[in-house]
Amino acid sequence: MSGNYDVQQVCENGHQITSSYRESPEQRQNYCDQCGAKTITKCLNCNAEIRGYYSVPGVFSLGKTLVPSHCHNCGKAYPWTEKKIATAIQIVTEFGDLSEEEKGTIEQDINNIAKDIPQAELSAMRIRRIWEQYGKIAYNVIMEFASKTAAEVLKSQ
């Protein structure tokens, strides 16, 4: 059985408005009712629609459609992912007296963790080392601002 994706509407801060933009037009909003940010339904880089609810004829699902971090078409991070990564980098680099080497790797490490790529485990170990050096606040920042994948990778360290 094959199905089709509906379009997902998400605010620029990552709050899901609807995962069924076409199917449920009454749920559409120009601005987010949680934070007031503008909403989008397409990748700002390549204009591909953000994948929403996946429906298969004759199959009923109670599962929730997750807000994606990156575009399925071009691979670019969505605005909410870019903001989370930028915030995590800024807070961690401003947190303590990091060496130039640590500052140089923080951005790449956080990006690796957010993308859940093979290098994420090494990146998580580096972030963990910073946590051990500078305290639990840096660790909590990464846990809060990085993706759920990052949280799982960091916890496993």
pLDDT value of position 20? 95
Q: Are 72 and 89 found together in one domain?
A: no
**Cβ–Cβ < 8 Å for 141, 91:** yes
Indicate the residue among 44, 76, 108 that finishes a domain.
76
pTM above 0.85?
Answer: no
Q: Are 83 and 61 found together in one domain?
A: no
Q: Are 68 and 9 found together in one domain?
A: yes
Q: Are 104 and 58 found together in one domain?
A: no
Domain of residue 93, residue span = 79-156
Domain count, the chain: 2
Give the whole-angstrom CA distance, residue 2 versus residue 14.
Answer: 28
Q: Are 68 and 106 found together in one domain?
A: no
What are the tens digits of pLDDT across the range 49-95? 999 999 888 887 777 899 999 999 999 999 999 998 888 777 777 76
All residue ranges of the chain with pLDDT < 70 are 1, 95-97, 131, 134-157
Q: Are 11 and 71 found together in one domain?
A: yes
pLDDT value of position 88? 77
Q: Are 70 and 109 found together in one domain?
A: no
Residue 107 burial class via C-beta count within 10 angstroms: exposed 0-12, middle 13-18, buried 19 and up: middle
